[in-house]
Structure 1
Amino acid sequence: MGSIAVHEFIALDGMYDDPSFTVAYGFDPKMGETLGAITGDATAILLGRNTFEMFAPAWSTRTVDDDPGAPFFNETTKYIVGSQEPKEEWANSVRLGAYDADVIRKLKDETEGTIYISGSGTLVRALLRDGLVDHLHLFVYPIALGTGERFFVDGEQTPLALLSTDVYDNGVVHLDYGPAAS
């Protein structure tokens, strides 16, 4: 049985929809090590349609010379959740259709290793509501943006248990959360 590991870049005030705010902080090499550890056991990628459509043109032509993560993104099977057909093509992609918790449970049951998710906030919020996320890796940047889409929705409680933390030289804090004990 597989597990689901999510990684999100968010601001202190929970904004996440436009990751361009991260550029000013650079990319600490230790963050790369953490992300490598998260993706190291991954045998599948799960993405919402919008994130898939952003990732496909950005990653599909990259090589290992461009980015060491390119083989992972290009060679790993990608499962797409969304009610609309993706506009982009990308090798090794499988469309799952509209969000259905039972379909994701079946995917977890049939997958050995980790199912990795990056971004895909709408999908991740649904997975959190349905108790399907095993690790929520938040990379919190030292800035409050004040505008944008919040990762956590007002009025929805999401109980979590802190599993581990890291602090990087660029001021980013990594928080690894799992499901709260019931």
Structure 2
Amino acid sequence: MSSKVNMTQYVGYIATSLDGYIATPDGGVAWLDPFNEAVAADGGDGGYGDFIADVDALITGRETHEQVLGWGWPYEDRASYVLTHQADYTADHVTAAGDIQTLRKAIEKAGHKKVWVMGGGATQRAALDAGMFDTLRVFVMPTILGGGRKLFTDGPQHNLTFVSSQSHGGGMLQIDYRIKD
């Protein structure tokens, strides 16, 4: 478990292709639709409902934030912190924007308990390298995209501790990890 003094828990919850991509080269995620439909056909949501119920804030990258806004904001009144180089970035549903340390300070000052690190590979990497993740839930989809946006952008090695795995409809595999200190 993490030895952090604060009470904020940072969690990852993300889908990837077997070859490690979370989106097509243009940022598209429609490739996930058949898998979401398969899970729904089994009468479930892959645990998303239970997961999101406890989340009180999100960290997204700017592109992810704008993409989600285009779909119609599904996260109700949860606080949203946007990782961007544009410190003056503003958009609907933005609580704060800036680099990862700026976001961390704002999140912890606000007293959030569970924060979903939701953005793309650069956002995932920034939170990982900053030592923010407590847990990571990865859904591996049985497809090979052959290219696109990586689960994590390049950076230093981080070792994880396997917690559990579970299969879901459509051949999806959920793998849960704790991040080693």
Question: Does the TM-score normalized on the shorter chain lie above 0.5?
Answer: yes
Structure 1 residue runs of 5 or longer lacking an equivalent are 61-69
In 2, are the aligned partners of 1:45 and 1:78 still within 8 Å (CA)?
Answer: yes
Task: Give the letter aligned to residue 35 of structure 1.
Answer: Y
The answer for the alignment partner of 2:4 in structure 1 is none
Deviations 1:141-161 (A, max 9, x none): 011221112223456322111
In 2, are the aligned partners of 1:121 and 1:151 still within 8 Å (CA)?
Answer: yes
Task: Give the letter aligned to residue 126 of structure 2.
Answer: A
SS in 1 for 2:166: strand
| Shift of residue 82, structure 1, vs aligned partner | 0.5
In 2, are the aligned partners of 1:3 and 1:108 still within 8 Å (CA)?
Answer: no
CA–CA distance in structure 1, aligned partners of residues 116 and 154 of structure 2: 26
| Shift of residue 133, structure 1, vs aligned partner | 0.7
SS in 2 for 1:134: strand
In 1, are the aligned partners of 2:138 and 2:175 still within 8 Å (CA)?
Answer: yes
**TM-score normalised according to structure 2 size:** 0.80
CA–CA distance in structure 1, aligned partners of residues 136 and 150 of structure 2: 15
Alpha-carbon spacing, 1:170–1:116, altered in 2? closer, same or farther (3 Å): same
CA–CA distance in structure 1, aligned partners of residues 100 and 58 of structure 2: 16
In 1, are the aligned partners of 2:140 and 2:173 still within 8 Å (CA)?
Answer: yes
SS in 2 for 1:126: helix
User: After the TM superposition, which residues 77-92 of structure 1 pair with which residues of structure 2 at under 5 Å, given as runs?
Assistant: 77-84=79-86, 85-86=88-89, 89-91=91-93
Identity value in percent: 22
CA–CA distance in structure 1, aligned partners of residues 44 and 63 of structure 2: 25
Alpha-carbon spacing, 1:33–1:169, altered in 2? closer, same or farther (3 Å): closer
**TM-score normalised according to structure 1 size:** 0.79
SS in 2 for 1:174: strand
- Count of matched residue positions in the alignment of Structure 1 and Structure 2: 167
Deviations 1:39-92 (A, max 9, x none): 1111111111110010112123xxxxxxxxx3xx131111112112557x324x
Alpha-carbon spacing, 1:4–1:155, altered in 2? closer, same or farther (3 Å): closer
The answer for the alignment partner of 1:168 in structure 2 is 168
The answer for the alignment partner of 2:67 in structure 1 is 54
User: After the TM superposition, which residues 1-182 of structure 1 pair with which residues of structure 2 at under 5 Å, given as runs?
Assistant: 1-18=7-24, 19-25=29-35, 26-29=37-40, 32=45, 34-60=47-73, 70=74, 73-84=75-86, 85-86=88-89, 89-91=91-93, 93-97=94-98, 99-101=99-101, 103-104=103-104, 107-108=107-108, 110-154=110-154, 156-180=156-180, 182=181
Deviates more, 1:26-35 or 1:137-146: 26-35
In 1, are the aligned partners of 2:124 and 2:152 still within 8 Å (CA)?
Answer: no
Structure 2 residue runs of 5 or longer lacking an equivalent are 1-6
| Aligned-pair Cα RMSD in Å | 2.3
